[in-house]
Amino acid sequence: MSDSFHAATGGSSPLLAVEGLTKVYPTGKKALGGIDVVIDRPQLVAVIGSSGAGKSTFIRCINRLVEPTSGRILLNGEDIVALDRKGLRAARRRIGMIFQEYNLVERLSVMQNVLSGRLGYVGLIASLRWRFPPEDIQAAFALLDRVGLDGYHNQRADALSGGQRQRVGIARALMQRPDLLLLDEPTASLDPKTSRQIMRLVRELVAERQTPAIINIHDVALARAYADRIIGLRDGIVVFDAEASALTEAALTEIYGAEDWAPAPSEDDDEPALIGMRP
């Protein structure tokens, strides 16, 4: 690891260290141009930027759903990029992923979807027969209660609302007992009220479980209201990395380009338009 990382973390190994991360697609398009990011404590980190800035690529490189072109991604000191297929499978158990489109098995029950977070641990035969240890089942019930889905365990996933499906996805990711959570635009398909509820839930879970989370998000208002830290990408480069309260109009212009960043007037008293407001 570079001297700059040691300096940033006091010489200790950070939870996550991304060093010189690049991604160039076969077409020649450079999605990431050398990203350095350190997360040395549990916090909710929002990644913002224009469409095509590299947000989703960055998130997906961390668990190698997208293969990096170069660079290192160290999770608790282990370089994810250098792992072979078997090592990557083991590492992905420690990285919970929450998707925009939920990625649930629609015909299965809520409980079965949540328990699928343990498939990497119970063995092939047991997983095919949906046989899980009692402690896993108890943990799944506890998580469903925590995410606001107590009593929904027998519901089919396709009978749920979008917000409920996203809560199932969060519970499934937490069943992995991950060291890191990745969220790829989890509120993009949700209405404003449900989006706020999901962001509030994620922030609370990060604090309760002391698990860092990185969220790729388009909504600047949500990022400022709920994230501890914001990373701004522009053309695959980090142009802003600071606490959410430091995201000024000048910083927004650096990330997105020139615009009038004054808050839009709100027609709904329950949804304040002031983007700096924390609920």
Each of the 279 residues of the chain gets a pLDDT tens digit; together they read 444 444 444 556 789 999 999 999 999 999 999 999 999 999 999 999 999 999 999 999 999 999 999 999 999 999 999 999 999 989 998 999 998 887 888 889 999 999 988 887 776 666 667 788 899 999 999 999 999 999 999 999 999 999 999 999 999 999 999 999 999 999 988 899 999 999 999 999 999 999 999 999 999 999 999 999 999 999 999 999 999 999 999 999 999 987 766 666 654 544 444 344 344
Q: What is the pLDDT of residue 177?
A: 92
Question: Where along the chain do its domains lie?
Answer: 102-177
- HEC secondary structure over the chain: CCHHHHHHCCCCCCCEEEEEEEEECCCCCEEEEEEEEEECCCCEEEEECCCCCCHHHHHHHHCCCCCCCEEEEEECCEEHHHCCHHHHHHHHCCEEEEECCCCCCCCCEHHHHHHHHHHHHHCHHHHHCCCCCHHHHHHHHHHHHHCCCCCCCCCEHHHCCHHHHHHHHHHHHHHCCCCEEEEECCCCCCCHHHHHHHHHHHHHHHHHHCCCEEEECCCHHHHHHHCCEEEEEECCEEEEEEEHHHCCHHHHHHHHCCCCCCCCCCCCCCCCCCCCCCC
Interacting residues of 59 by C-beta distance below 8 A, sequence separation 6+? 47, 182, 183, 184, 214, 216
Q: What is the pLDDT of residue 61?
A: 96
CA distance 103 to 97: 10
Q: What is the pLDDT of residue 7?
A: 45
Q: Rg of the chain over CA atoms, in angstroms?
A: 19
pTM: 0.86
